[in-house]
Amino acid sequence: MKRRHARTRNLLKRSKTTAAGMCYVESCTIQKGITVGTNHFADRLTGAIREKRTPLIVGLDPVYENLPPAILKQPGFSDGSSCAACVDAISEFGRKVIRAVAPHVPAVKINIAYFERYLWDGVEAYYNLVQEAHGHGLLVIGDVKRGDIGHTSTQYALGNLADCKWQDTDTTTGPDAITINTYFGIDGITPFMDVARVQGKGAFALLRTSNASAGQIQEIPAADGRPVFLHVAELIEKWGGTSRGQCGFNSLGAVVGATSGTAIAQIRQAMPHTLFLIPGIGAQGGSLADCVPAFNADGQGAVISASRSIIFAHRESRYADIPSAQWTTAVQRAVVETKAQIADAIKAFQ
């Protein structure tokens, strides 16, 4: 596979660049190096959820050692001590997962950490999979968890969220939304919201995460006795209020772990216009019953992300009847079954 400086799929219409370095696409002005989008992220995401009739999204967290034998045994993929072999293997795996789940879900969440460990080739593989997902009609959430003080956040926003078009490169689309760090406050959030506003993108700010030790910080009681995460929830709702779509939700969402339990209902009360990205079901043990208060009567308001329980379904005993070479069938069955479980949980709640 050709990697470094590879030509990725051009998913945007070619732009015309003036001598001054300003670009125009479909009559929309582009700041130097940044494309202007025309659609609101929350409207696009809720529309995709309606189209696929599910809020389930699939997380792509490829671990080389856990890849299906049918991938690892392919020529050029079997040497786990070779960075190139590992990148080629997880890239092939990622492409096949995307193609398997595309008919069933509105979006994928790609975790950049599983690619960055392979340095520049891994980062290029990440962006290639973003293009692959877009090519199959999927929205992409880049799980990058970036954030810093204002000036540095601007660079993170340009490098991780924006669709950049340099005069000496092909057009490569960034993800439709990314996860960001809330801890720096509004000056760390604003640069991401600026890109989101200009390009029709979104962001999900960390709020109540799914890791076991999250409560050490997020549940500290504030002066009024309420946990810190509820105060942060109110801030995220306020910050996103200037970016509300026609669907009634803001382009600034929140990451709310499925392991948060009954706190999800409290958080929803505090932020009625905020989309939730809910990780933690499946392998992390989050409860669907606890997740359903995140949804409104129309089944909107959140996406539920499942990763290992779907992409590594070939390792589950319940799919042992599926031949090893047909591992994508296990992925598809896991997606369909998880969709049904979520639909049943939402229906029971309503």
> How much is the average pLDDT of 35-60?
89
Phi, psi for residue 108 in degrees, rounded to 5:
-125, 150
Q: What is the per-residue burial (b if ≥16 Cβ within 10 Å, else e) of 104-137? A: bbbbbbbbbebbeebeebbebbbbbbbbbbbeee
Q: What's the length of the chain?
A: 350
Query: Other C-beta atoms within 10 Å of 340: how many?
Result: 12
Question: Distance (Å, rounded) from C-alpha 205 to C-alpha 154?
Answer: 16
Contact assessment for residue 46 and residue 39, using Cβ atoms and an 8 Å cutoff = no
Per cent of the chain over pLDDT 90 is: 75
pLDDT digits (tens, 9 = 90+) for 320-331: 999 999 999 999
Tokens representing residue 122 in the block: 């891994």
Using the predicted structure, report yes or no on whether residue 22 has a pLDDT greater than 90. Answer: no
Question: Alpha carbon of 216 to those of 148, 234, 340, 350: distances in Å?
Answer: 21, 20, 34, 33
pLDDT digits (tens, 9 = 90+) for 140-151: 999 999 999 989
Q: What is the pLDDT of residue 18?
A: 28
Using the predicted structure, report yes or no on whether residue 14 has a pLDDT greater than 70. Answer: no
The residues carrying an active-site annotation are 145
Range with the lowest mean pLDDT among 43-52, 207-216, 238-247, 330-339? 207-216
| pLDDT-based confidence at residue 38 (cuts at 50, 70, 90) | low
Q: What is the pLDDT of residue 290?
A: 86
Q: What is the pLDDT of residue 146?
A: 97
Question: Distance (Å, rounded) from C-alpha 219 to C-alpha 299?
Answer: 28
Question: Distance (Å, rounded) from C-alpha 89 to C-alpha 80?
Answer: 9
Tokens representing residue 189 in the block: 């959030």
- Which residue segments constitute the domains of the chain, with CATH numbers given? 40-349 (3.20.20.70)
Average pLDDT, the chain: 88
Burial class (CB in 10 A: 0-12, 13-18, 19+), 13: exposed
| pLDDT-based confidence at residue 20 (cuts at 50, 70, 90) | very low
Question: Distance (Å, rounded) from C-alpha 101 to C-alpha 338?
Answer: 12
Using the predicted structure, report yes or no on whether residue 235 has a pLDDT greater than 70. Answer: yes
